Each structure stands twice: as C-alpha cells, then as structure tokens.
Amino acid sequence: MTRYSPLSTDADAPHSPTSSSPSAAVTAAASDLPLSQKLVKVIGNVCFSFFVLAVLVVTVVAVTYQPPDPWLTSSAALTNSLSATLPNSTFRPDDSILPTGEDLVPLNTSLIPVNSTDSPSSAAVPDLVNSPSTTSEEAGESCNPDKPVNCSDPKVLNAVKAFNLKAYTRRSIIFLSYDKPVPGSKTGECDVAWRFRNRKEKSWRRYRDYRRFRLAPGDNCTIEVTWVGKFRSGTNAAKLRNRTRSPGSSSPSVRVPIDSEINDTIPTVGSESEFKRAKYLYYTRGGDYCKSMNQFIWSFLCGLGEAQFLNRTFVIDLSICLSGAYNPWYGKDEEGKDFRFYFDFEHLKESASVVEEKEFLRDWHRWEKKGKNGNKISVRKVPTYKVTPMQLKKEKSTVIWRQFDGPEPENYWYRVCEGRAAKYIQRPWQAIWKSKRLMNIVTQIAGKMEWDYDAVHVVRGWKAQNKQVWPNLDADTSPEALVGKLTKVIGTRRNLYIATNEPFYNYFDKLRSHFKVHLLDDYKDMWGANSEWYNETMELNGGEPVPFDGYMRVAIDTEVLYRAKTRVETFNNLTRDCKDGVNTC
C-alpha cells in the first residue's frame, strides 16, 4: 500500500491526463465557466481600463493647467503701457483718463442677491411678469376695483418689481433692493426708490434711482403699472437733508439729495502707544506735484506699493495739485484740490493701510514733544530714491521718511520703484477707484437716456490744430464727415452721446437732424448749485464751492462712453491718423 506524504511533490504524485500543469488547470476551469460570467468579466475589465485612463487624464490636466489671471494680465498690460510713456523719466499729458482699479477688475455679470424677495434673478422674470399679483381674495380681503390704490399695499411693490425686470434687465441693470413705496403727488401715483448696479461696471458699487409710478387696478384684483416717470422722478422717495450754502451764510437751508453710503471721513491715528507701535512710510512732496494725473497716480501707487512691501502704513497727502493741462481755458496749475474729488477714499481705506498727512503730523509732533526727555519716536530719513525698498526691509524705526529734494527727474516718487525694485514692488491698482460722487453723475446721465444709447468719442482741440502731426484729424471730425460716417453705423433717431474736448457747443448741430444728440453740457444741473455733487464736494472743501474742472469732465465722458451699446472711437473709426501722430500706428 503506497503512502503519500503532505510534502510530496508533483513528481511523486500520480499523473492524470487532465492535470498535467497549473496553467492547464486554470484553462480548463475557465472553459467550464458559463458564457454570461465570461461576458461580465470582459465588461468589468473594459470599464476598469476606462476608469484608470480617466484618472490619468484628470491628473495630468490638474498638474499642468494654469488658468490665466485676468487681474494680473490687465495690471501687467497697464504697467507696460504706462512704462512706454516715460520719455526722459517724465509723463506727457494726454486727453485720455487713466484707468483705475475698477476698470481692471474682471467683469462679473452675476450678483448673488441679498435675499430672493428683494433681488429676484433674471431667470425668474417671466414668472414675475406674466403671473398675476396675489389677489385680495387670496389674502382674505374683499376685492374692490374702484378702491384707490394704496401705496403700502404689497401688490404695488410687486407690480413695480415686475415692471422693472421686464423693462430694464436687458439694459444691463441689476436690481438689488427696494424701499417701501410712498404716495406721489396725485391719487394713484406712488414713488418707489431702489438700489441697483450696472453689469458693465466692474466695481460692486450700488446706485440709487427713485421713480414715480402711476398704477391702476387690473383683472382679478391685480395692480398694473400704466405709466412711469423718468430717472429720479419720484422725489418723494428720495432721501433729503438740509444743507446750508456756506458757513455763516444768511441764505436759507435747502433740501438736497444725499448719498448716505459714502463714508470718506479721515481716520484718526490713535493714542501715543498705538502711534508708536505702528510703522509708517512718509513721502514728502516731490517733482510729481502739479504734473499730469497719470503721473501722480503712477507715483502714488509706487509709494503705496512700497508701504505694503515694508508692511507699513502709508501717509497720504489729500491735497493735490491739478495740472493746467486739464483746464485749457485757464492754463494754470490749481493747488489745494482734494484727493476725494477724484478718487474713492473710502475704498482706498478698505484696501490699504493709510493715514492722512495732517492727522499724522499733528500726532507725531504731539507725541514727539511729550517724549522730549526720552523715548522719542524713531525716524529714518532717506534722502534719495537710490536707497531701495529692499535695503529698508529690516528697518525698525517708527517712521521711514523719504525726502525728494533733488532736481527733476531725481525727485519723482516713481523712481523708487525703478530698476531692481520693480521686481519686488507691486502697484496696488485695485486700491484706486474713481470717486463715487463722479460715478453718481455718470449713472444719472446714463439713466436719463434709459441706459439705451450709443456714443462717439470725438478728439479735437489742440490735436486737430496740429496739421503736421495729425494732418487728417480736423477734416475727418468735421460735422459733415461725422454725419456721413455715423449714419452708417448708428440707427436714425437713436440717443447719441458725444464725448469730446471740442469747446464749441453748437459744433455738432448737423447731427441733431439724424440723432438725439447729448453732450456733457446738457447735464450741467447735475453739478449745479442745487445738485448732490455740489453740496457734497462743498462740504469736503470747507464750505467753499468746488469748480467742475477739466479732469472731472474727461472722467465722466469716459465712463458714459464705456456704457454705450455702440462705441465709435476717433482714431479707430473716424480718422486715418494715428493716436500719437504720424507713423506711430
């Protein structure tokens, strides 16, 4: 009797025809599987292969893909553009206005509403417009179609919302919130105020409108809008406050509209301990003072960028000088202009660490005098721009005081950011926005045209007079030439806004037979003695009226032009000449 050990090998075991090798055994087992199990196994292998391939593709894309940064791209493009305009380390004044932070922010065409009742999305427009308002029977009230419209009735606000969404959503208007309707001047009229923004504006500012609506009972006890007034016609819904003409004036106070959302008050420095714990970067006035606004902002952002690089608070002088190039009818530089006339100081405070110069110097002298016996405030004076920001990175003094006392162009602020420093200092363009007060005028002008207009930019002035540099500009922008070119691209009787530096108001009269022509001077009441802008800027100016200068005109013209449906440019569409002269295209 043969006995087999557990450790015996295949060579010792008896052989059979069906088990000659392991592979043969597996093949035999597989051949015995049903066809359905074979099919499931093949499908599983194929699906697993596709899954592995998909994982590999996603991994490769995630590792290699670098999405473009539109903000950095725009900033770099703007930096290159401005750097190209630096002949002999100075700037040349131009008719154009410098783009600011809100022009560089990527355009967002959607807005997350505060709540669904105040800000219905555009997707809900058909339901709001086509569906009837809640009936009185549904609210448990009796329906009386002869009863006068009550402005406090919720159906009134619903009717106004539905009308606005149907009429203005396609005109790039986003409605954010509504105030409660108030009675108008007659029975059946209600004044309604709301906050909105324009999709074409890249900042998140909110603007106001208040209009008068005439309403009437409709079918099934609904309320319908039968008539609506023009932009800001609902004066009973406007927020007004008393404002005197000037301190000590005998003139009676007047009721003027206000923008309660503007807060550009000057922040205080604080106590002595807070002052000494902080670190400051202080620039004294240099050669940039009274230069073009483009050079001022280029230099200002250099200082602000250095302060951020050094992790310090930047001391800002709110008193600036406006170059005479922006006032050709005066031709003189104007000192004492407030920074807040042109730029949004509230946004600057939120975007960067800044302190106002007068407040800073007052506290500095006060704490310096108090500590005269010891514990004085440490100061590092830097007499030349050749001391780079990198060399000041480890400076421990409370105040770094950059002094610009040399001759031009050695005393320009932006020289600090040239050379090797350009690799380290990033100008914070996002911190500079145009003044909300100027943008309110832009909104009013566009609102008067119901945000449905075209625009043309007509550059003339001293460029049209210089035939050697711009030989065709004068003829190409003549009234006859403008009529021939604009009638081909803009519809008849359309609202046409003309942004121009042409001083003669009647120069464009030949266009009036073809279009509804609008010029900036048609809206003088928006900065007149009873306007919101006039009273707000007068308060900033110590009770003295503020002239509406050339830079303000260019800023508003530029922004109104930007919001037009069709834009016609001088050097791209109207003339064969180059923007910067012969042979510069």
CA distance 307 to 324: 30
| Closest to 459 measured CA to CA, from 500, 418, 510 | 500
- Asked if 457 and 561 touch (Cβ cutoff 8 Å), the reply is yes
Half-sphere exposure of 144 toward its Cβ, with a 13 Å CA cutoff? 7
Cβ(518)–Cβ(495) below 8 Å: yes
- Could you report the per-residue pLDDT of 137-190, keeping only the tens digit for each? 444 455 676 788 899 999 999 999 999 999 987 888 999 999 999 999 999 999
pLDDT > 90? residue 396:
yes
Element (H, E) at 457: strand 454-458
For the stretch 446-456, what's the b/e string if a residue is b when 16 or more beta carbons lie within 10 angstroms of its beta carbon?
bbbbebebbbb
Most confident of 6-20, 77-91, 129-143, 535-549: 535-549
Q: Which residue has the higher pLDDT, 507 or 87?
A: 507
- Which pLDDT band, with edges at 50, 70 and 90, does 256 fall under? low
Per-residue model confidence (pLDDT) at position 404: 95
CB 281 within 8 A of CB 316: no
Supply angle C-alpha 139, 165, 146, rounded to 5.
40
Which H or E run includes 128? Answer: helix 125-130
* Mean pLDDT computed over 355-360: 94
Mean model confidence pLDDT for the chain = 81
CB 69 within 8 A of CB 401: no
When pLDDT is averaged across residues 223-232 and rounded to a whole number, the result is: 94
- Rounded to the nearest 10 degrees, the angle between the axes of helix 436-448 and helix 550-562 is 50
pLDDT for residue 439: 95
- Residue 8: per-residue pLDDT: 40
Which is higher by pLDDT, 369 or 150? 150
What six digits make up the tokens of 344? 């949004």
Helix axis angle, 532-540 to 436-448, nearest 10°: 170
Our CA angle for 512, 517, 521, nearest 5°, is 125
Cα 371 to Cα 280, 377, 468, 570, distances in angstroms: 18, 8, 65, 62
Give the pLDDT of residue 66: 54
416 vs 70, more confident: 416
pLDDT digits (tens, 9 = 90+) for 419-471: 999 999 999 999 999 999 999 999 999 999 999 999 999 999 889 999 999 99
pLDDT recorded at residue 254: 61
* Helix H or strand E encompassing 214: strand 207-217
- pTM for the full predicted model: 0.75
Judge whether residue 274 has pLDDT over 70.
Answer: yes
Q: What is the DSSP string of 401-430?
A: EE---S-TTTT-GGGGGSGGGGGT----GG
